[in-house]
Structure 1
């Protein structure tokens, strides 16, 4: 029934949100607008989920491996997930929190991630939603973070926006509660 509903909405040129519910969790898997003339009934199901399933799963695997490297304190594993000219940006006001800003290229990322890992341990991560659109991925997570110097832990939500190039992370923009981070390290 969801396929038929998505096909009908897409054929009417309305936005289509494909939602999977499994194991008690809900995950948005796609948002698309198809033209009125698209022969939706003949499209494979993966096309209704946002395109090439192989590329989608490859990007999600890179992200999951990067998250595992971050959790395990593996700086090199995290850096290798990035394109050689890859950029990581922690959004926020640099005058309020010095950790915010952009870092580019493997040497800079290695130093920055090394410091982040030394200061902040990710105790757990629950992925709340993954959304893939072409070479871009959005991941909404709930994490439990330990501030290592003080030993305090806190739970927060993070939104990561990825852009891929050549199978690697070309850009990661992370939205985190920087006020909560600042309070934790003060």
Structure 2
């Protein structure tokens, strides 16, 4: 099951990097919960959709260093570059822990810090 979940996450992230946010959301449960540790928690696809519209002004650029799957969980470790409304790019290091439910991404716990 873990390998299948890794493939699902890779496919979802591929949609994200193309700017296909609705395609990405199709891999999430309707009641998905995203927790950005120390910042905020988003509950449901509508909250995630609003976050993406505000945060991903251009598609993010990912560099995944490791994907580790165990049971219903996939952990992604890597870097992400985001542009703000002024076009300034900022790099972040992240560790995302995804919980899957019936082949969909049900919960995200994300640890994100600005890279040096």
- From 37, 48, 52, the counterpart of 1:113: 52
Does the CA-based 8 Å contact 1:126-1:141 persist in structure 2? yes
After superposition, the CA RMSD in angstroms is: 1.9
**Structure with more relative contact order (C-alpha pairs < 8 Å, separation 6 or more):** 2
Are residue 89 (structure 1) and residue 89 (structure 2) matched?
no
Deviation at 1:62, TM superposition (A): 1.5
| Secondary structure class of the residue paired with 1:176 | strand
Structure 1, unpaired ranges of 5+: 1-54, 93-99, 182-186
Does the CA-based 8 Å contact 1:143-1:155 persist in structure 2? yes
Deviation at 1:155, TM superposition (A): 2.4
TM-score (norm: length of structure 2): 0.86
Deviation at 1:109, TM superposition (A): 2.0
Residue aligning to 1:28: none
TM-score (norm: length of structure 1): 0.56
Higher helix share: 1
1:32-47 equivalent positions in 2, closer than 5 A: none
Instruction: Report the structure number with the largest CA radius of gyration.
Output: 1
Q: Deviations over 1:120-161 (max 9, x none)?
A: 641x322111111110111101223222x1211132211000
Deviation at 1:107, TM superposition (A): 2.1
Higher strand share: 2
User: How many residue pairs end up in the alignment?
Assistant: 115
Residue aligning to 1:73: 19
Are residue 142 (structure 1) and residue 69 (structure 2) matched?
no
Structure 2, unpaired ranges of 5+: none
